[in-house]
Amino acid sequence: MSKFLKIVAGAALLSATTAHAETGLGRVATPAEVAAWDIDIRPDGKGLPEGSGDVYTGEEIWLEQCSVCHGDFAEGTDRWPVLAGGFGTLTGDRPVKTIGSYWPYLSTVYDYVNRAMPFGNAQSLEPDQVYALTAYLLYSNDLVDDDFELSNENFLDVEMPNADNFFMDDRADTELPIFSQEACMTDCKDSVEITKRAAVVDVTPETEGGDETEEAAAVEEAPAPAETPAVEEAALDMALVAEGEKNFRQCKSCHQVGDGAKNRTGPILNGVYNNAAATVEGFRYSSDMADAGAGGLIWDDAELTAFLANPKDYMAGTKMTFRGVRDEADIAGIIEYLKSFPE
Amino acid sequence: MIDQFKGMKPSRRAFLRGAAATGVAAVGTKAAAEGEAAILNKQPWNQSLGAGVDEAPYGMPSPFEAGVVRKNVPWLTAESISSINFTPLHELDGIITPNGLCFERHHGGVAEVDPAEHRIMINGLVDRELVFTMEDLKRFPRENHVYFLECAANSGMEWRGAQLNGCQFTHGMIHNVMYTGVPLRLLLEEAGVKTEGKWLLAEGADAAGMTRSIPMEKALDDCLVAFKMNGEALRAEQGYPVRLVVPGWEGNMWVKWLRRLEVGDEPWHHREETSKYTDLLGDGQARRFTWEMDAKSVITNPSPQAPITHGKGRTVITGVAWSGRGTIPRVDVTIDGGVNWVEARMSGPSLDKSMHRFYYEFDWDGSPLLLQSRAHDSTGYVQPTKDQLRAVRGLNSIYHNNGIQTWAVNSDGVAENVEIS
């Protein structure tokens, strides 16, 4: 440790002398360039843009863009982060570290939502939307009432319950002295017993050996997907396509369509309509979906409608962590929109 | 017509089958007192010509090494875009990790950055806010250093007890490569850090917009803005075209696809330094800014994925050790669960904040073993047991687990991840 302290002390001296080295390399950034990239927010509010948003507005955006992964009430789906609740669990057997129970600063919520969310469509939200989502997350954690509006004006008034429970790394005092003592080399203990075994827990992925080869072979030998039935060229209902495009926004955090579409969390959806399931190259489908595709599942109106209404009900093993589309008319729109990307 | 055996790429399974057949043949021919088939029979590669140059303009490992790959643990994360895979430590030797085997940890997938369109900006509390192109960057004086990068969550799944059978999974969130880059200090000097500039925010260009706060002392000490690893351009999954190197400190701070450095007077307390990578202790309080990675080691062979297959007799134990505070002058090894220890033999360069390689050769009598290694770093720190760590930090911590690892090897040479008293 003493060596490290010396290094730090030496560096501190240097910091006082970082004058221009004058290599002339690089150029001065324009104010517009700095403004375009300098989006970070600090606990003291530095960086917050002007704006405001309330819980109700936040809920609308939440249900459309966030609940797919984080659940309608920020409770989290599958292994996506739980963002609400968990109060009183930090000293328990299963701590649930949420925005409410754990995060020390509200500025972190604004900063992260603004820079990295929604997953797959980062930095697409306007300041008012980020304020609204932040307000909704406070509400989900019972930290504000449902009529609360958050803005740059009242941002610093919000107190986070766990703010005082973080402290600076203290290993130099609490660990290094204990762990820097002479090590015993002979007759260090009287007996040794095995107390825990990984084999009992049994969570290691795949065993070593030929299993992979076998699986790969099995896939190759699987029956080819049924021939795509001839589709009659039907004219698209453009009004419905436009309606569907709006509803497809909730799909966009995981799926891409159109020119240059790539597989993301979900596969490319170009040509999905009336084609065999699980056939997009390069996407790793769940084994259930791959089996269904190999077994001849065709994404026609009926199948797509059933799947989109409640994906997990339709196919328990699907990787699509999405609550489903409640309104059948919305589903019809999404399908019509997908039809407009035949290739 | 030249007879080539090009394209004959045996699967791992075919290879194993072949090896078994050879073994049988050896026994058979020994009975005939002639010798081993591997010697007596001509092999195809003895007679036919192999592939010419340019068959693989970018070379790949032998097909017999096809199983040497990074692997992930699917149940750990919701899906692979924000996830982690693991370096196959049990298949490697020496201290350098090959570029294609360096573990990956992304928060928004691998950004595909066009270097011609990439810029690095320095803003905030500086005399001049600057923008550099990749070409500008390469006109600064460069340095070469070998450093380990360990994820703060390495061995995190093992905090409460033995979980995963394989050092790839228990310890594989680490790699060790030689970086070529520009000292961060030179870029900051070019911009002129103001006196009140005590902190630096490093930001990535990926869809996670990864950010971390770094104290100015460290930024001016040994950090690099690196564009090469092991001599070639950074791999896309390691931050191509440019990443931050923060020697000895937790991997999350080594921001990939680095695009911005902001100088400020206070830390930013962003997501990856509050919600994540903080150590929740038993009393509900949490340690933050646990930057330096404590000294740690692991035996890579034998281990659950690399059992002893040769039976009793001469046996090589090997492994790796590292410390975020310096070098590793010494590693101890025990084969009896820590009753008696011996000093292992260190081999290879001993570099500051780099991985070190150790060996211990002994005659195995075929009885069960409880293997452990214990690193000593250049500050005098001795790698603690997991129980010692839990006594200080409680059961709910996850990150920064540098406890001693135990492998139980049975009389067949099969190894299992265990904890012992």
Q: Does B159 touch chain A (CB under 8 A)?
A: no
Q: Considering its fold, how many domains does chain B have in total?
A: 3
CA-to-CA distance for B141 and B131, rounded, in angstroms? 17
Place B283 in a pLDDT band, splitting at 50, 70 and 90: very high
* Domain final position from B231, B253, B287: B287
Same domain, yes or no: B239 and B127: yes
Task: Write out pLDDT tens, residues B200-211.
Answer: 999 999 999 999
Q: Which two tokens stand for residue A16?
A: 């006082």
Q: Kindly list the residues from chain A whose CB atom is less than 8 angstroms away from the CB atom of residue B132.
A: 25-26
Mean pLDDT of A23-40: 97
B106 in any annotated domain: yes
Question: How is residue B9 annotated by DSSP?
Answer: -
Domain residue limits, chain A: 41-165, 238-339
Same domain, yes or no: B329 and B390: yes
**Between A227 and B337, where is the model more confident?**
B337
Q: What is the pLDDT of residue B230?
A: 98
Same domain, yes or no: B208 and B322: no
Does B151 have pLDDT greater than 90? yes
Does A155 have pLDDT greater than 70? yes
CA-to-CA distance for B161 and B386, rounded, in angstroms? 9
**What range defines the domain where residue B113 resides?**
85-287
On whether the CB atoms of residues B191 and B122 are closer than 8 A, the answer is: yes
**CA-angle at B253, arms to B236 and B122, nearest 5°:** 85
Query: How close A36 gets to chain B, by Cα (Å)?
Result: 11
Q: What is the pLDDT of residue A251?
A: 81
Q: Do B284 and A165 touch (CB under 8 A)?
A: yes
Mean pLDDT of B46-62: 94
**Domain harbouring B323, CATH code:** 2.60.40.650
Task: Write out pLDDT tens, residues A260-290.
Answer: 888 777 888 998 988 888 888 878 787 788 8
Q: Which two tokens stand for residue B66?
A: 């096809």
Q: What is the pLDDT of residue B14?
A: 44
* Domain final position from B228, B256, B287: B287
Cα nearest neighbour of B185 on chain A: A18
**Domain harbouring B154, CATH code:** 3.90.420.10
Question: How is residue B213 annotated by DSSP?
Answer: E
Place A210 in a pLDDT band, splitting at 50, 70 and 90: very low
The pTM of the full predicted model, rounded to 2 decimals, is 0.80
Task: Write out pLDDT tens, residues A64-115.
Answer: 999 999 999 999 988 899 999 999 999 999 999 999 999 999 999 999 999 9
Q: Kindly list the residues from chain B whose CB atom is less than 8 angstroms away from the CB atom of residue A203.
A: 73, 75, 163-164
Same domain, yes or no: B166 and B97: yes
ipTM computed for the complex: 0.90
Same domain, yes or no: B248 and B317: no
Q: What is the pLDDT of residue B23?
A: 45
On whether the CB atoms of residues B150 and B249 are closer than 8 A, the answer is: no
Same domain, yes or no: B127 and B257: yes
Same domain, yes or no: B207 and B229: yes
Task: Write out pLDDT tens, residues A225-267.
Answer: 333 334 344 678 888 888 888 788 778 767 888 888 887 778 8
Does B7 have pLDDT greater than 80? no
Whether omega for the bond prior to residue B329 falls within 30 degrees of 0, making it cis, is no
Q: What is the pLDDT of residue A234?
A: 60
Q: Do B275 and A7 touch (CB under 8 A)?
A: no
On whether the CB atoms of residues B256 and B243 are closer than 8 A, the answer is: yes
Place A321 in a pLDDT band, splitting at 50, 70 and 90: low
Does A21 have pLDDT greater than 70? no
Same domain, yes or no: B93 and B191: yes
* Domain final position from B287, B308, B326: B287
Same domain, yes or no: B282 and B323: no
Mean pLDDT of A48-67: 96
Place B257 in a pLDDT band, splitting at 50, 70 and 90: very high
Q: Do B275 and A170 touch (CB under 8 A)?
A: no
Mean pLDDT, chain A, as a whole number? 84
Burial (0-12, 13-18, 19+ Cβ within 10 Å), A141: buried
CA-to-CA distance for A171 and A276, rounded, in angstroms? 57
**Between A251 and B267, where is the model more confident?**
B267
Nearest of B266, B278, B224 to residue A40 by alpha carbon: B266
Q: What is the pLDDT of residue A199?
A: 87
Q: What is the pLDDT of residue B266?
A: 98
CATH number of A238-339: 1.10.760.10
Alpha helix locations (H) across chain A?
2-15, 31-37, 55-65, 67-70, 106-116, 127-140, 171-174, 198-201, 211-221, 238-247, 287-294, 301-309, 311-314, 328-339
Does B111 have pLDDT greater than 70? yes
For an interface test with A, which of B131, B188, B296 has the most A Cβ atoms less than 10 Å from its Cβ?
Answer: B131
Residue A24, number of CB atoms within 10 A of its CB: 10
Same domain, yes or no: B137 and B110: yes
Place B59 in a pLDDT band, splitting at 50, 70 and 90: very high
CA-to-CA distance for A32 and B259, rounded, in angstroms? 16
Q: Kindly list the residues from chain A whose CB atom is less than 8 angstroms away from the CB atom of residue B332.
A: 183, 185
Q: Kindly list the residues from chain A whose CB atom is less than 8 angstroms away from the CB atom of residue B166.
A: 204
Q: Does B143 touch chain A (CB under 8 A)?
A: no
Does A209 have pLDDT greater than 80? no
Does A152 have pLDDT greater than 90? yes
Q: How far is CA B265 from CA A5, A46, B36, B128, B258, in A?
A: 21, 11, 72, 16, 21
Task: Assess whether the region A41-165 and the region A238-339 belong to the same CATH fold.
Answer: yes
Task: Write out pLDDT tens, residues B8-53.
Answer: 444 444 444 444 444 444 444 445 689 999 999 999 999 999 999 9
**Between A29 and A7, where is the model more confident?**
A29
Across the interface, which of A23, A40, A194 has its CB nearest the CB of B140? A23
Q: Kindly list the residues from chain A whose CB atom is less than 8 angstroms away from the CB atom of residue B186.
A: 21, 23
Same domain, yes or no: B331 and B272: no
B226 in any annotated domain: yes
Mean pLDDT, chain B, as a whole number? 93
Same domain, yes or no: B241 and B101: yes
Query: How close B367 gets to chain A, by Cα (Å)?
Result: 15
Query: How close B32 gets to chain A, by Cα (Å)?
Result: 32
CATH class of the domain at A41-165: mainly alpha
Does A317 have pLDDT greater than 80? no
Does B285 have pLDDT greater than 60? yes
CA-to-CA distance for B169 and B73, rounded, in angstroms? 8
Place A217 in a pLDDT band, splitting at 50, 70 and 90: very low
